[in-house]
Structure 1
């Protein structure tokens, strides 16, 4: 679905209604026109309101028939500039804490996703048919959260659990695919299909022997051939799934295919692999590399990016890998970094104008080997800089509690 931002009109959030096609949102005089989609529920509008969104941009042509759009006059929606530096600081503080409600919603969504994924796996294991309607509403909510503040989503999904890898991996792949799709300016229906495809992409593994699936080490050639059968099982499982879009099917069935035709289950070649199939391969590998497993610790994003690039151009699409790295950022939201003064913190908020200078939530000092006062440091206005990414395995303390607001 294509839209032209120049044809959009600015309206008050109070006049936004279900069915309108939103091409941008305005928060603290910053306009984001990169995320477009139709408002699918009143809950989505309430979420925008709760995040202090006062104005949105809508496209009349792409909105549903019957939507009454009331453009603001030239005098409306104009706020006076801050009078003093103190005023600016006062206005900026709530922005940091206003994300608490968004992060709470992100936690709720991810918890629901894990429950949903477990139920889908159980249904499949018992040879019962899948019904996409169960995850339809969840996918809609995921898109709405990502539309407002994907930073909150990534901070929550950055937390890992070794004991439920299959569920964690499915949820993370869904979230990453939505983020990647947004970056590529895909429409909301495609984003929804990416989310659904991500949740079910490893459904065939319920048919793999547990000893092979959970083996703490390298698989033998025979075991690897058995593991590869999970994609054959997936083909059989989703064949009768009602309401599954072609995009969701491609995500599920193509994430182990390679451009040179050496992938599985069908050995598809470059000219047979659509964009979403190529995207799913990149995202699946990235999340697997950065995840903690019972037999290995997850690597940093920087290390994972190097491996992704080494797999181009034979296995992965080089252009898409670069776009994925640009989308996630060298220091992804939720990742750990060390600063030039020895402090360690979580990448909390991105700076769109300067991706290498995000906001860091500092909580520990590697230099002094102790916790520090929790502070939010905006590197854009600081003399400090990031010196390296930190893998969770190398940190001597548990960072999990600091992912909460």
Structure 2
């Protein structure tokens, strides 16, 4: 292996050493075949030297490519780490009123992660591969970006619109940079004044970024309106469904889903199945019901063959999802079957693993 300057790298060479970011996470794994996008990333992020294999045969390259291709974990973690790091850097810049952040690089960092996701519909399986011990405010942004992109695919939207949705998801809560930290991290119930402060984040985020010409107008609209609800009960403007921009409605759905399924400092996240109940209730109250239904039905289909733990402690396998009761599937436990759509004393506490 040899250390080589970025300017001297040739496309097709393979890394002989993992590259880590400041968080200690692998962003590019040993054996990765270098393409133009990698060289661009190195230049944008001040990486001047890397280690590459001195000589490698065609057969070895093919073997390495197969390993990397099959190693979704590494690829996904790499893409996630890059976007997480970009967002954190921007978050602190905005928090300090420094608006000279590189929006183009942030958008370019998002695209490879989105491309990885779009190649495999099982986004919940993908999310379970991730292991980032990071503040909820940062992981929530990246998660909403990922869920939003996948929902865009399920809605049949074009690739550029999906990238825009992913960017909107990443930035949707950027206004929280201006909300006092002690309120954001408060574990007790918020007072009405504190709740108003938290709710101001949508408008604050828009105001902070509206002068930045590099940010698409659709992204700004999603930042401002992702908490609007169809019945007019949302904020900041009390818009009805038909008045709320489409991308803002998409972000609204996935924002709720990730918020209720994520662990927070003051509560443990609920299972994805339980989240369906909440999403369904929210659809009646104000989330776009069509968008919610597309999201839930697609996610539910990937629960088949998953092992789940019930609230009575028993562990079984999902064998059928009823489209009229997505959150209450048919469970097989040993040689018996339990239909949760007809037995409401039982519920799914946790999704355990996916059997391929």
Q: Measure, in 1, the Cα distance between the counterparts of 2:211 and 2:179.
A: 20
Tell me the residue number matched to 1:295: 266
Specify the alignment match of 1:197 in structure 2: 168
Report the Cα distance in structure 2 between the residues aligned to 1:188 and 1:175, rounded to whole angstroms: 14
Q: Deviations over 1:179-211 (max 9, x none)?
A: 101101110000100111111111110110111
Q: How do 1:22-61 residues align onto structure 2 when only pairs under 5 Å count?
A: none
Q: Name the CA distance, whole Å, in 1 between partners of 2:117 and 2:170.
A: 16
Corresponding residue SS for 2:219: helix
- 1:389 matched to 2:348? The reply is yes
TM-superposition CA deviations, 1:187-239 (whole Å, max 9, x none): 00001001111111111101101110000132111110111111121011111
Please tell me whether residue 178 in structure 1 is matched to residue 149 in structure 2.
yes
Counterpart position of 1:187: 158
Superposed, which structure 2 residues align to 1:80-159 within 5 Å? 100-129=70-99, 130-151=101-122, 154-156=125-127, 159=130
Shift in alpha-carbon separation, 1:334–1:168, aligned structure 2, 3 A: farther
RMSD over aligned Cα atoms: 3.6
Residue 365 of structure 1: aligned partner: none
Paired residue total? 275
Equivalent in the alignment of 2:210: 239
Q: Shift of residue 152 of structure 1?
A: 6.7
> Which 5+ residue runs of structure 2 have no aligned equivalent?
1-34, 39-66, 323-330, 341-346
Cα distance change of structure 1 residues 187 and 293 upon mapping to structure 2, 3 Å threshold? same
Query: Could you tell me whether the CA contact under 8 Å between 1:261 and 1:268 is conserved in 2?
Result: yes
Q: Secondary structure at the match of 1:338?
A: strand
Residue of structure 1 in register with 2:256 after alignment: 285
1:274 aligns to 2:245 (yes or no): yes
CA distance in 2, matches of 1:306, 1:243: 38
Q: TM-score by structure 1 length?
A: 0.59
Q: Pick from 266, 291, 298: which aligns with 1:320?
A: 291
The answer to whether the Cα contact below 8 Å between 1:162 and 1:292 also exists between their aligned partners in 2 is: no
Contact 1:204 1:234 in 2 (8 A): yes
The whole-number CA distance in structure 2 between the counterparts of 1:341 and 1:219 is 34
TM-score, with length taken from structure 2: 0.67
